[in-house]
Amino acid sequence: MPAFDMPLKELEHYRPEPEEPADFDEFWLSTLKEAGQRDPVVSARPVATGLRLTETWDVTFRGFAGDPVRAWFSRPAKVPEPLPAIVEYAGYGRGRGLPHERLTWVNAGYAHLLMDNRGQGDQYGCGGDTPDPHATVPGGPGPAVRGLLAPQDSHYRRLITDAVRAVAAVRALPAVDASRTVAVGNSQGGGLALAVAGLVPDLAAVLVTAPFLCGIRRALDLTDAAPYGEVTAYLSVHRGAERAAYRTLSYLEGISFARRAQAPAHFGVGLRDTVCPPSGAYAAFNRYAELTGVERGDETVRKEPVRKEIHAYPYNGHEGGDAVQVRRQLDWLADLLGEPGVGPESA
């Protein structure tokens, strides 16, 4: 696929004006307040995986509306000290799969929570275990269009809430250094990680690759690939529903979450990505943490600039930098937090 979005020099300076509803913050504050009224963890059951160097637990935590959400929690075997925690979010159509599928972060010495995607898991990988009991609201069959006509009904209102509660859940598990909690994701998972960064003020870092739900309106004009293509297909049938759909999507916009984020951030993007066009990732990166500040009296004083960097892969699509990008994430995070198992003050 040839390059189809902006040239790199334009992407590096691309800062579209945010299109935010006036009650964006209130909407998410009230949503998360309701979800946070319960203790996060329901259960954590050890499971046998056949892996001698990794210990794994089957975790159930309370997500949106207190619904049970499944996750795998893994950590290096026989390492008792508190470890920094990676909370990872899976891509579109994936579930948590099997516990031995994602071992990179555990092998690097981190505790690792992999959240299941409610109502997904039937398109790729090895499936999921979390139903979405609220999925009967009006909208199309795919997750991207479930509840598309009203923000309070959106599938992503529920999924983003689950993602925030996953951070609370991992922090409640034993032998986790809650002060070093990191949100990680690729594609849909990257969009979720970015949303979490905008909604959880004390994350240690966020690692985002090829994020979905960034620059949504432009992406709908650029690509017919799913998941964005599911939205355009729905609107091609439901003519006249654009206004309601765009209003709902405005509460899910990754650029808006990025503006509110405070944690150090590491981005990756393929410049030939027709699934999640690179202009969305760059818009989120360029506006990242721009609302971060400290109120003093009647004015807001900027904090020190938030550490952030982005890596572009000019000849890659949605796979981006793949294993090269993961290696960069590992090096960057170790430099930021110190080696796992070693406090940052002594690293």
53 belongs to a structural domain? yes
The four Cα atoms 138, 159, 37, 204 give a dihedral, to 10 degrees, of: -160
Answer whether the bond into residue 227 is a cis peptide, omega within 30°. Answer: yes
pLDDT at 37: 84
Is 311 contained in some domain?
Answer: yes
The Cα 154–Cα 288 span in angstroms is: 24
Q: Is 121 left (phi over 0), alpha (psi -120 to 50) or beta?
A: left
Domain coverage including residue 281: 8-335
Task: Say yes or no to pLDDT of 235 above 70.
Answer: yes
| Residue 69, SS3 per DSSP | strand
Please tell me which residue, 224 or 301, carries the higher pLDDT value.
224
Two tokens at 267?
A: 């981005």
Rounded to the nearest 5°, which phi and psi values hold at 245? Answer: -65, -45
What is the distance, to the nearest Å, from the Cα of residue 131 to the centroid of all Cα atoms in its chain? 19
Judge whether residue 27 has pLDDT over 60: yes
91: pLDDT strictly greater than 50: yes
Residue 268 has pLDDT above 70, yes or no: yes
Tokens 């020190």 -> residue: 304
Cα separation of 249 and 244, whole Å? 9
DSSP helix/strand/coil, 339: coil
Q: How far apart are alpha carbons 162 and 168 in whole angstroms? A: 10
- List beta partners, residue 43: 60
The rounded distance, in Å, linking the Cα atoms of 56 and 77 is 9
The whole model's pTM is what? 0.94
Residue 2, in any domain of the structure: no
- pLDDT(36) > 60: yes
The whole-number pLDDT of residue 304 equals 79
Confidence of residue 205 (pLDDT cuts 50, 70, 90): very high
Domain count, the chain: 1
Residues with a known catalytic role: 187, 273, 318
Structural domain contains residue 345: no
8 A C-beta contact, residue 54 and residue 75: yes
Does residue 122 register a pLDDT over 60? yes
pLDDT tens-digit readout, 275-316: 999 999 999 999 999 998 645 455 555 567 899 999 999 999
* C-alpha span between 29 and 96 (Å, rounded): 27
- Residue 81 inside a domain? The answer is yes
Q: Looking at the domain assignment, is residue 342 inside a domain?
A: no
Tokens of 207: 């690692």
84, 174, 180, 262, 335 from 339: Cα distances, Å: 9, 19, 11, 22, 8
- pLDDT given for residue 135 in this prediction: 79
Mean pLDDT of 313-339: 96
Task: Determine, yes or no, domain membership for 347.
Answer: no
Single out the residue of 321, 249, 252, 309 nearest to residue 282, CA to CA: 309
Residue 346 forms part of a structural domain? no
What's the confidence (pLDDT) of residue 3?
A: 78
Q: What is the pLDDT of residue 344?
A: 45
Query: Which residue matches tokens 């979800």?
Result: 35
pLDDT band at 173 (very low <50, low <70, confident <90, very high): very high
Distance CA 89, CA 161 (A): 12
CATH code for the domain in which residue 287 is found: 3.40.50.1820
